[in-house]
Structure 1
């Protein structure tokens, strides 16, 4: 498996294209799977995908300052996946679905504190926070 991302990749919206171009070389050296970064729309154009704004926007909708994600537009992602499939390379998606730091607004919600060794054991009364 080839991990196709790291923290300092340029935010030039060309990553999906670069990977598509690399697919034949990856196949030639025996790579049978590629591991893609979280490609959802992030809080900013430079977001690595762990600051999710919209799980369903893979670089398709004009929001948060543009259409593309850091990695590129949805069309380029689809082309990358097609090229991988044509070359017998599987695609894995790095999904961290509980990372929701990219929201536009916050809201009040009730929470309780829990024991650090037993999350089923409440250690406080319910109270409100802004989250």
Structure 2
């Protein structure tokens, strides 16, 4: 997977802001997609269950961005690990729910997971920079 050049120059605080805003967008999307079970196949209970996870990630990332004034690299490592766990959970749910998912439901996960993984890679790289 090619690493996007635009993510390379971002500072840890900028990555935390991007992560936080992305988690808010993800949470909004989960709430919206839960209304379209017939089109996606994702049970609303599953999507609503993921919503507080996304909101907690947003709260953590944005709190670190605004409150951590010295070295935000440890915050990046934590949220990168959490994002990776979220991807594993999403893939697990995708496999578990596969028989009931529509093509659009699969597409949702197929688009979300790679985007998050690119962010995880950027966060991990930035957390290791000195």
Same fold (TM over 0.5): no
Q: Give me the TM-score of the superposition, normalised by structure 1.
A: 0.29
Structure with a larger share of its residues in helix: 2
Which structure exhibits the higher relative contact order, with contacts defined as CA atoms closer than 8 Å and separated by 6 or more residues? 2
Who wins on radius of gyration, i.e. which is larger? 1
Higher strand share: 1
